[in-house]
Amino acid sequence: MGLVPHALAPHIPRDENEKGTLMSSESGSLEALLDENRRFAPPPGFRDKANFGDPAVYERASKDREAYWADWAAQLDWFEPWHTVLEWSPPYAKWFLGGKLNVSHNCLDRHVQAGHADRKALIWEGEPGDTRTFTYGELLEEVCRFSNALKGLGVGKGDRVTIYLPMIPEAVVAMLACTRIGAIHSVVFGGFSPESLSDRNNDAQAKVLITADGGWRRGGVVPLKENADEALKASPTIEHCVVVRRGGELSEQVGATLQEGRDHWYHDLIADASTECAPEQMDAEDTMFILYTSGTTGKPKGVVHTTGGYLTQVYATTNAVFDLHDDDVYWCTADVGWITGHSYIVYGPLANRAQVMMYEGAPDTPDRGRFWQLCEKYGVTVFYTAPTAIRAFAKWGDDWPAKSDLSKLRLLGTVGEPINPEAWMWYHKVIGGERCPIVDTWWQTETGAIMITPLPGITETKPGTATRPFPGIEAKIMNDAGEERSAGYLAITSPWPSMLRTVWGDDQRFRDTYWSKWKDTYFPGDGAKLDDDGYFWILGRVDDVLNVAGHRIGTMEVESALVDHPSVAEAAVVGKKHEIKGESIAAFVTLKEGYDGTDELLAELREHVGKKIGAIAKPELIVFSADLPKTRSGKIMRRLLRDIAEGRAVGDTTTLADPAVVKRLQEQHEAEEG
């Protein structure tokens, strides 16, 4: 039985390929996707015990969305109740107006006060195999100590703190400590370059930087303090830098030096700090954190999230989507540097009193079975990862997971990019033993929390679709004119609690990027299709944002990094399909007079991009070209470049200023590939 009644599937006119804007080259495989008719109902045993097993929740939520969200919010502790659930003056939403709460109190004190001080909160393993565990009581003490240490450095409510840490428990402690004292954190992924770090420090005008001497990645050391030192040369607003000693062999190897007056060891700061620190009473709409994400310009934007609505929706979605129970051991493999780490390693799970697994390193260190060994060792029951990882695991072969006992797993999740049905089926069979529901969750840095997803005890899933909006969320598919269609752009048609409130310091950009396509409707930048069951099939970005191994990278960012090199006159960057990463970066580069496209220069350009942005942004393919295909009005024709990069027959070139350019480029590309 399909658990989504057909009455819920709206009858919507189809007009395929409206204006040809929507991924025309992919429509073939898309039709195949929509023909996907394998269906997986929740196993009865799972449904019976699920937090949500009754589809009536959808109706209840849509009848009175504000009451529904208020019910969730009321499960948290509030110092003062809200007087109004929602004030919506598009595009500005305020949730739980007048309410006062504290995030760290809700993630820690609330559980300790309810008698759960000895329950495990964080179960951590480092890449070399060292382990640390914090109970809720211990985590609260550590957070209080560090909160007091931050106060001692002059950090107060509203101040910005940059966190540039590896996946170690102190990352969680630092985030929670900021929320405890009302400071606004901006976590920067440890793989970003010094320049990316200083850009973010400066945009946020951060006062304090928290880093570590280093972290382990694939057996090598990520020299975070060295990068931080480099970044600090260009970060005038940073007054203090706190350095966590990662410990073990790493710290001996790195031997970080601290600059007198500016730098402080974390362990020195907390040594004498009090284990008590009263949580700041924050207004529901006070800014909780900023997280930078790539957009369609060269400059990443600081997505702003506030306190009450964000915590409510991450709490609700973690509870309902991951179906957490007391005996679950929950593991999300994301890095805290991304929104998934914020919402589904730290805030959502801890607000739900979950036992959270955290792992520092790579999935193939020391061997390709590491994740499955961790699942067995810690008895992981709920596992949340990304399609790019699943495709890599599938490629590495079934023998690796077969070596470990994965029988405790009961629920699997995926996020970050569309999952292809083959990868979904592999996940279902080989990891889930055909008994675990899979929740394919669609959401974004900007949405703060999961928006479109199955509920594992209710929804019949199909490989490749995120299924339906979470109860209380309203989504549609629309064309450019804002008319509802069964194929087009994904649209979120009413405000939700964890929505971004603005772009830090750039309100205009907030309105232009998300709210200018249609009236009072949020534009996420994804293409989508609706099937006859009313399920949403997310197809990927329709703007100049790439999704490389689940990481968002703006083509303009990479282009700016390339033209920053003295040899480059012009660069055009496009996405190229990639078996594991989903997409990889292809760059077409025109050199300045006097430079030759040698292999050395090619390597240098890749390094240059790595240095400017971070290793994740290094182009996989660079094609040197005397010119780029442009329209007569001078616009670079990216569609053609994509065709060339993927080795496809090139479509219509009649609008090109010089059609011969394409032929030259193709020859060039073939020579380089071959």
Residue 626's φ and ψ, nearest 5 degrees, are: -65, -30
Q: How far is the CB of 231 from ligand WTA (least distance, A)?
A: 22
Strand, helix or coil for residue 338: coil
Closest to ligand WTA by CB, 473 or 589? 473
Name which of 146 and 424 has its Cβ closer to ligand WTA. 424
- Do the Cβ atoms of 450 and 538 come closer than 8 Å? no
Backbone angles phi, psi at 185, to 5 degrees: -90, 150
DSSP-based three-state secondary structure for 192: strand
Ramachandran category for residue 664: left, alpha or beta (phi over 0 → left; psi -120 to 50 → alpha)? alpha
Query: Which residues lie closer than 8 Å to 275 by C-beta, 6 or more apart?
Result: 141, 144, 145
Query: CB nearest ligand WTA: which residue?
Result: 445
Give the residue with the Cβ less far from ligand WTA, 42 or 418: 418
Amino acid letter for position 369: G
Q: Which is nearer to ligand WTA, 269 or 538 (CB)?
A: 538
**Residue whose structure tokens are 């005996």:** 327
Which residues, at least 6 apart from 45, have a Cβ–Cβ distance to it below 8 Å? none
Q: How far is the CB of 456 from ligand WTA (least distance, A)?
A: 15
Which residue, chain included where needed, has tokens 């193939």? 364
**Closer CB to ligand WTA, 538 or 616, in the complex:** 538
**Does the N-terminal peptide bond of residue 366 adopt cis geometry, omega within 30 degrees of 0?**
yes
Measured on CA atoms in the order 43, 528, 6, 320, is the torsion positive or negative? positive
User: What are the tokens at 517?
Assistant: 């396509």
Burial letters for 564-587: b for 16+ Cβ neighbours within 10 Å, e otherwise? Answer: ebebbebbbbbbbebebbbbbbbb
Provide the H-helix boundaries in 212-364: 224-232, 248-254, 266-271, 308-321, 339-341, 348-351
Nearer to ligand WTA, 269 or 334 (CB): 334
Token output for 207: 């006062």
Closer residue to ligand WTA, CB minimum distance, 203 or 263: 203
Q: Which is nearer to ligand WTA, 95 or 338 (CB)?
A: 338
Please say which residue, 72 or 443, places its beta carbon nearer to ligand WTA: 443
Classify burial at 160, counting beta carbons within 10 Å of its beta carbon; exposed 0-12, middle 13-18, buried 19 or more. buried
Phi, then psi, of 67 in degrees rounded to 5: -65, -40
Burial-class residue 37 by CB neighbours within 10 Å (0-12, 13-18, 19+): exposed
Residues that bind ligand WTA (CB under 6 A): 293, 338-340, 415-418, 440-445, 466, 524-526, 538, 540-541, 547, 552
* CA–CA distance, 53 with 45 (Å, rounded to integer): 11
Minimum CB distance to ligand WTA smaller for 78 or for 331: 331
Which is closer to ligand WTA, CB of 442 or CB of 522? Answer: 442
User: How far from each other are the two terminal CA atoms of the chain, in whole angstroms?
Assistant: 51
Q: Give the nearest distance from C-beta 319 to ligand WTA in angstroms.
A: 18
Burial of 53 (0-12, 13-18, 19+ CB in 10 A): middle
Gap between the Cα atoms of 402 and 50, Å rounded: 28
Is the Cβ of residue 441 or residue 567 nearer to ligand WTA in the bound state?
441
- Tell me whether residue 33 or residue 144 sits nearer to ligand WTA (CB atom): 33
Query: What residues does 161 pair with on adjacent strands?
Result: 185, 208
- Tell me how far, at minimum, the Cβ of 283 lies from ligand WTA, in Å: 26
Q: Kindly state the greatest CA–CA separation across the chain.
A: 74
CB of 520 to ligand WTA, least distance (A): 20
CA distance 156 to 187: 17
